[in-house]
Amino acid sequence: MSSVLSDAHLTEGMRSVFVELLVHGPLSRAEAARRLDLSPSAVTKLTKPLLQNGYLLHQPSGDRSMMGRPSQPLAVDPARAALLGVKLTEDELFAVRTDLRAEIQHELRRPLLSHAVDDVVTRIGEAVRDLTGSGQPPAALGISLAGTASGGDPVVPTSPFLGWRDVPLGDLVAAATGLPVVVENDVRALTAAQQWFGAGVGRHSFALVTVGAGLGCGLVIGGRLVSAAGRGTGLVGHLSIHDNGPLCELGHRGCARAYASSAAVRRAVASTLDRSDLTFEACLALAAEGQPAARRIFEDAGHALGQVVATVANITGVQLVILSGEAVAMYDVCAEAFDAALTAHTHWTSTPVDVVVKPFTFSEWARGAAVIALQHRILGR
Amino acid sequence: MSSVLSDAHLTEGMRSVFVELLVHGPLSRAEAARRLDLSPSAVTKLTKPLLQNGYLLHQPSGDRSMMGRPSQPLAVDPARAALLGVKLTEDELFAVRTDLRAEIQHELRRPLLSHAVDDVVTRIGEAVRDLTGSGQPPAALGISLAGTASGGDPVVPTSPFLGWRDVPLGDLVAAATGLPVVVENDVRALTAAQQWFGAGVGRHSFALVTVGAGLGCGLVIGGRLVSAAGRGTGLVGHLSIHDNGPLCELGHRGCARAYASSAAVRRAVASTLDRSDLTFEACLALAAEGQPAARRIFEDAGHALGQVVATVANITGVQLVILSGEAVAMYDVCAEAFDAALTAHTHWTSTPVDVVVKPFTFSEWARGAAVIALQHRILGR
């Protein structure tokens, strides 16, 4: 696959310098050299072609408030290339156009009219056209969705919400748009965005746990996004919490999903209060107002989430867990139960794990898809 | 740190070729080149100094039954260097001397007279002398023990069985023996041995789950042994299995350790049958003979182990789990319960995980310590 930087001949060394500047820049030559364990003259040599073709630029040193006078820090020119990201849900499509540093420039949201593959490909094609307009053609398109997709494979093996099996989505969209396309599991894509441009920057290892229609978990271990084609990773939804708890739709008694998914919480509140009209947001409002049953149901959800986060940290050793997802707003009403479960289930020899709560937006998930496209184009994987 | 191959100037490329031949050899130049994505002439150049100083040799092609005529396959000379490995338990020391391919040449077993650090260092020193004799001095010594030790740090932060906190074991033993010393968590060390010379060879990712005095888990993800200084990884012992189950010694109700550790199984059988004299082995024999209570207690242990293995695989995405440890013989009487729990708790979108059961020996754990020393000496980490 040719690279996003395809007009330059990209060596492994050039890639490393580019990624370092993209994620941590602007950096002085000396600092980039120190971080990459290279000599400053090697950095000069590696960055020369990237400066020539405009992917890097010299940042005017006056921009930075630093002691001393840094000699022309190097930075990526974010405007040098654009990326597109699309996140598919059960009934909608969210798409963004970003710059090279994954800053969102435009976004749009469209209903999916059906789950028929051709229809979805058509909708993606329309979104691509609308986001491209008469501007610079994007370098690549990332598509993220729930299921067992894994970057590099254009085929989606299973996507439960869309009812898909073995759909060659990547090839179909590539044919329809003429763009290089990367398809990835949505939680892994969001994890990639956190790794390069979010709370995971500078962390060797971390996990992202999401709560929404289901529970998800993405992992970065040893600086790499963990992927397991065919098996999936971070499958925490059916972790057993209480063996006398409520059922999930697969018949597991008391699994994490049966406590903490937005649908499970909504069903539990609606049924306890005999109010089938309640939305998840209305349930959340009731809990926030102190309605005791609603409160307890959210506390049970918080307990399950805390146990999930502790289990992930115990097994993988991550010291940071980012919490997000469509239903992450529940954290506000169940933080105490979450913290108590996290503490109770953290292994007694471990230091406490850091938890960062990221408010949810669908644009953020679409941005994750753009970052996956960027990583594949730059790293050539 | 100078390398086990310290008379050669070891570049990154030479290291890669050496490890490839160590783990997968003998290999023809062409095959080594293909595996490492190098040209055959690059392999020739990289292996030349290693051949000159005797770390590599040309294997007579007559040794191999292959179609065609391989042109002098390359192999590591296992006799070129020796390594020592020591595994500490609560009351004993196990030590081995191995060749470069971690084949055990000599082994010994000694009681620990006390947990006093000086005493233990003295015992290790004696074992090193006895295993070295008048032979070739070993290139390095690895020490493995339960606790939060992590390779590269000579200090043992905590070792529960020995009652140690912040013991600079590596430096003390290095001073006593004059050898380079690497200290590592025992489960991680055993995992390293499986990675380079066991069931994990050729696997990108796998887990090792051990059952004995406690439960342990080592992870290789993306070709690397996962380590998390200060936190530990693979902490599966207190995973919650049943919330109305027996207590562990930390007061957790129904955690995996309360069901499956050798002490928990022994206590449960002894107390149910009112026979405090029963050893773990006697309990196992009763279960094997079909004594119903003993059988059920081992089945409960198997269920807990199956749930642990499924949870590790769900979260990390590994497709292979190696099962070992002092009490792994229990698998024979609880395989059915283990398999049922593994299937029930494997995520519904995942392919089944492969499980390989490795019979337990303490020498194997001491060998793990030798492999950790080897990895640190070669990889320079």
CB of A165 less than 8 A from some CB of B: no
- Can you give the pLDDT at residue B1? 35
The whole-number pLDDT of residue A3 equals: 46
Cβ-contact A238, A351 below 8 angstroms = no
> How confident is the model at residue A5, as a pLDDT?
55
Q: Which helix (H) or strand (E) holds B96?
A: strand B92-99
| B163, two tokens | 């009652």
| Cα B321–chain centre separation | 13
Nearest-5° Cα angle at B316, A196 to B325: 140
Tokens read off for A341? 């479960």
**Which of A153-162, A348-357, B51-60, B65-74 has the least mean pLDDT?**
B65-74
In chain A, % of residues over pLDDT 90: 72
| Residue B226 neighbours by CB distance under 10 Å | 25
Find, among B302, B296, B286, the residue nearest to B215 by Cα.
B302
**Which segments of A253-291 does DSSP mark as H helices, in order?**
256-260, 262-272, 280-289
- For position B288, what pLDDT does the model report? 97
Chain A partners within 8 Å of B258 (Cβ): none
Quote the tokens at residue A73: 């820090």
Which of B162, B206, B217, B240 is most worth mutating to test chain A (most A CB atoms within 10 A of its CB)?
A: B240
Least confidently predicted of A61-75, A241-255, B69-83: A61-75
Residue A272 burial class via C-beta count within 10 angstroms: exposed 0-12, middle 13-18, buried 19 and up: middle
What average pLDDT is seen over chain A? 90
More confident residue, A379 or A42: A42
Q: Tell me the DSSP string of A19-39.
A: HHHHHH-SB-HHHHHHHHT--
Chain A CA closest to residue B237? A347
Sequence-ordered list of residues with C-beta below 8 angstroms from that of B179, at least 6 positions apart, any chain: B84, B128, B137, B138, B140, B141, B173
Shortest Cα distance, chain A CAs vs residue B26, angstroms: 29
Distance from the B358 Cα atom to the nearest Cα atom in chain A, whole angstroms: 21
Average confidence (pLDDT) over A72-83: 93
Residue B74 CA to residue B53 CA, distance in Å, equals 14
* Predicted pLDDT at B249: 84
CA B64 to chain centre: 30
What residues of chain B lie within 8 A of the CB of A217, using their CB? 315
**B176 vs A118, A347, B96, B125, B137, CA distance in Å?**
72, 34, 18, 6, 15
Instruction: State the burial class of residue A123 (Cβ atoms within 10 Å of its Cβ: 0-12, 13-18, 19+).
Output: buried
**Does B243 contact A244 at a Cβ distance shorter than 8 Å?**
yes
Which pLDDT value is given to residue A6? 56
pLDDT tier at A166, thresholds 50, 70, 90: very high
In the structure encoding, which two tokens stand for residue B295, read together? 């059988």
pLDDT means per 10 residues, chain B with 381 residues, are 51 89 93 92 92 89 52 90 95 95 95 95 96 89 90 84 92 96 94 96 95 94 84 84 88 92 96 96 97 97 97 95 96 97 89 92 93 87 56
pLDDT of residue A79: 93
Does any CB of chain B come closer than 8 Å to the CB of residue A317?
yes
Residues of chain A neighbouring B228 (CB-CB closer than 8 A): 205, 316-319
Residue B238 in contact with partner chain A when CB distance is under 8 A: yes
ipTM of the complex: 0.87
Most confident of A66-70, A376-380, B3-7, B35-39: B35-39
Q: What residues form DSSP beta bridges with A364?
A: none
How many helices (H) and strands (E) are present in chain B, helices listed first? 12, 14
Least confident of A70-84, A259-273, A334-348, A358-372: A70-84
In a mutagenesis test of the B interface, which of A145, A191, A221, A354 is the best target, namely the one with the most B β-carbons within 10 Å?
A: A221
pLDDT: is A362 or A121 the higher one? A121
Q: What is the pLDDT of residue A12?
A: 81
Rounded to whole angstroms, how far apart are CA atoms A314 and B234? 6
In A6-130, which ranges are E strands?
A: 56-58, 74-76, 82-88, 92-99, 104-111
| Cα–Cα distance, A370 to A374 (Å, whole number) | 6
Q: Which residue of B has its CA nearest to A225?
A: B222
Closest CA to A348 of B189, B271, B231, B301: B231
In chain B, which residues have their Cβ closer than 8 Å to the Cβ of A239?
311, 314
Residue in A with minimal Cα distance to B232: A317
Q: How far is C-alpha A284 from the chain's CA centre?
A: 24
pLDDT on residue B193: 96
Q: Which helix (H) or strand (E) holds A307?
A: helix A292-316
Among A148, A161, A205, A235, most B C-beta atoms within 10 A, so best to mutate, is A235
Other residues' Cβ atoms within 10 Å of the Cβ of residue A71: 10
Average pLDDT over residues A177-194: 95
What amino acid occupies position B43?
A: V
Query: Angle of helix A280-289 relative to helix A331-345, nearest 10 degrees?
Result: 80
Collapsing DSSP to helix, strand or coil, B210 comes out as strand
The pLDDT, as a whole number, for residue B7 is: 47
CB-based contact B340:B180 (threshold 8 Å): no
Residue A145 has pLDDT above 50, yes or no: yes
Is 80 exceeded by the pLDDT of residue A40? yes
Residues near A356 by beta carbon (within 8 Å), at least 6 away in sequence: A199, A320, A321, A322, A323
Sheet holding A215-221, edge to edge: A224-225, A215-221, A206-211, A320-324, A354-357
Closest approach of chain B CAs to the CA of A70, in angstroms? 32
Chain A hits for B307, Cβ within 8 Å: 240
Residue numbers in A near B230 (CB within 8 A): 319, 350-351
Q: Is B263 on the interface with A (CB under 8 A)?
A: no
Please name each of the domains of chain B with its CATH number.
12-79 (1.10.10.10), 82-192+364-379 (3.30.420.40), 200-357 (3.30.420.40)
